[in-house]
Every structure is written in C-alpha cells, then in structure tokens.
Structure 1
Amino acid sequence: MTRRNRSGVRGRYAKSEQRSTEILDAATTVFATHGYHAGSLRDIAAELDLSLTSIAHHFGHKFELLEAVLERADNTENGNEEFDFGSACRERGVAHATLQRVRSNLGRPELLRLFAILSTESSAPGHPAHAWFVDRYTRKVDALTRAFAFDQMRGRVQRSRDPHVLSRLLIGAWDGIQLQWLIDPSTDMEQAMSMFFASWSPGALIDS
C-alpha cells in the first residue's frame, strides 16, 4: 500500500514536470515568434490544447512563465541540458568555452531568436523583462571579466588587455554575430568569433 502511494506521488510529480517542460517549450516558440507583448497565454495554451487554468496551475503569471523560459534558455545548451560556462572557461579558457557555446547554439535558433527579440523589446524601461536583462548583462560582464583575468594569470590572454573591456567587446560581438546568423544562416558564427579572439586576445585559442 505504502509502495503504491509513493509510486503514485512520483508518477504525479513526473507528469507535472513533463507538463511544465511542455509549457516552457510552447512558450519559447510563442515568445520567439511574437515577442512578449504580442504572444499571449492563449497562444501558448493553444499550442498544447490546454486550458488557461492549466497554464496558470504551473506558472501563475505570464511574466513568471517568461522568466522561466529565459532562465532555462540562458543556462542550457539545447533547452534542456545544463551548460556550465564558468567551468568550461576555467578548464580551457574563455575562447574555447565561447566557441563550444557557439557550436551548440547552431542547433537552437529558436532560443537565440527568443533572446534577440526579447532583449530588444526589453530595452524599454517599462518592459516586464527589462530588469532581468539588465541583471543578466551585469552578471555576464562580471563573470567574463573574472574569466579573462584568470586567463591572464594562466598566460592565455595578454596582461596588457583590460579584462573588463574584453568582456564588453565579447558580448557585443557575440550578440551581433548571432543576430547576423539568425538573419542569414550562411554566416559562419564560429569563424567570426575565432577572428574576434585572434584580433583582441591573441593566444587565447592556444591550449594551455
């Protein structure tokens, strides 16, 4: 009796987790296609043939769902598998970690399109995701600054380079090249990013 109950709890939890994942997948598609304001909860529910009540059961508000979509997209390789960019930077350096991420991004255009659309939308201070993106870029710059400084200690990056400036340049180049690739998939993202490192941090692509 006890075993059946425990199994039932696990089963309900697994089904709930699966449903949450399905909702996040549908929300990613809707937000990446229409943006946040034009993409509605009704659109997301229609993607799954669910009621609005079912969506609200898992994610109480539209912004809560948006935040979950953004967090998942920012911390995974293909929407589901975790990617520890910080560990990759420490093990092989910023350049190699970045190119690994670039290669994985080639298989997730929908998630890149999501960020391209929502980051532009959220440049308006009143947008619900404005604070999230401000915080994201602050965290990214800080993390990359530390990673570039670590690379300098390991001899991967010239000490004459300012790690904070390098982090800003990297984010700007990365976002811009990804956008070009979304518009024209013939753009070679990996080659372009390799050229960035060759120009701004000579030696970064040499394994230490």
Structure 2
Amino acid sequence: MYEPAAAVTDWLLAGICAPLAAWCAFRRRLAWAGAFATLASGAAAGALYHGQLKPTRHGSAAWTAVSLLVAGGMLALYLASAAELGVLRRRGWAALGALSGAALAGGCAAGLRTLEPLLATQSGSMAGIVALWVRAGRRKEAGAGWFLGAIGASAAAAVVRALPIQFRLHWEWNGEALYHLAQIPGLLLIVAGVRNRLLAAKRAHDARR
C-alpha cells in the first residue's frame, strides 16, 4: 500500500522514539527505554509497509507484523508504568501484565491468523496504564499529571485516526498519517513525566543527606 504521507510520518515517529529510548537508557530507566525502542521498531515497520510502491502478496503479513510490534509496544508501556510506580510484582498488576503477555504469546503461537489476540493485548495494557496513572494521580505521585496528560493526548490521537479526513498537500493525507503526528505530544509528555519523577527522586535524596 503506497501511502507516502503515512510512511513519512511513521519514519518521523521512529526518529523520535529511538532517541527517547536512548535518553531513558542513559538515565537507567531501562523499562522505558525498551518501550520506546519497541515503539520505534513498530513505527519503522509501519513506514516500510505504507511506503510500498505497489501492493504485494505479503501485504497482510507485513501489516500483521506492524500490529504485533504495536501491541508489544503497548504492553511494554504498561510494564514500564508498573515498574516506575513500583507495583510490577504486586499480584493484581502482575496478573494483568501476564494476561496481556499471554494473549500476545498465544497469538504468535497460533501463527497470528487473526488480530484478536493483539487487540486483546493492546486493550488490556491500555486499561492497565490508565488505571495505574489514575491511581498515582489520586495518591499525588510525582509526575502523575504528565502521564495523565499523555493518556489524554493518546485518546485525542485515536479520535483523529477515526475521523474521515482526506486532503492533498503534496501527498494524499488521511487519518492514519495525521494519527502518527498526533501521537508525538503524548510521547513527549511521557518523557516529561519520567524526567519529573527523576528530579523528584533526586530532591528527596538530597533532602535526606
């Protein structure tokens, strides 16, 4: 499927997520680094898919691979959130992560003949992310507001994707291409939240000295 606007904006997403992964890794936030690296891989795969000059017989398999990476990225964001808040090993949160991971693994084991397992992974992971940061906001955890803002930005991006938008500006633009752009604020808000929590931890450490 040749959609140059979607391909270029996917490359832009990959180009943003990759340095964000490096930034998190440099600051020893490895769970976040892994999440951003997975998202970068998914965006790059999406760019290759949208950039095909003509449809190929491998198109559906390529889209399944993109969907797999997107689902994996969402699961990674959930696990990073749980690790950030120190609840990754607690029974309920661990169970949700395990169920989402099992859906992803089950879909892979079944040959990814349908996208339902991937959608289940994304839905479960997103529900967990929302629950974690709403809980953190109620507890006035450092940086929670930034993460809740990221969730709101992600929801707004999903609305953009669903809109029947079609116009020409050098290329043909549609909701998918604009969705890629609309995801950028949410990604930056996540990093702002991580940075805020790092600074809060440093201030708390300095206060105890």
TM-score by length of 1: 0.31
Between structure 1 and structure 2, the one with the greater Rg is 1
